[in-house]
Amino acid sequence: MAIKNELKKLIEEQKKQSFTDPSQTTDCDALGIMISQYLEWNGDQIFKVSYNAFEDSNYHSFNEKFEDLFKKQGGNYGFR
């Protein structure tokens, strides 16, 4: 629970830094920006994070399609 609470604080801070009206911004919007910036806009790494989040949520068949599409787009995540 401590990690979730810390992440929520960081999300709120990201909203303040990135949006003119933080109250109208979703946590997902702010978290997406945080991930993108943390990974330095590296699409392969962003894919890997997304893939793992879907995998943890048991979206296995979706992930198969997601992976195929990513490969078709030229992605090279190299974690399998």
The predicted model gives 55-76 an average pLDDT of 93
Domain boundaries in the chain?
Answer: 33-80
- 79 vs 9, more confident: 9
The predicted model gives 70-77 an average pLDDT of 85
Of 7-11, 28-32, 68-72, 74-78, least confident by mean pLDDT is 74-78
Contact status, residue 17 vs residue 5, Cβ threshold 8 Å = no
The predicted structure's pLDDT at residue 78: 65
- Prediction pTM value: 0.85
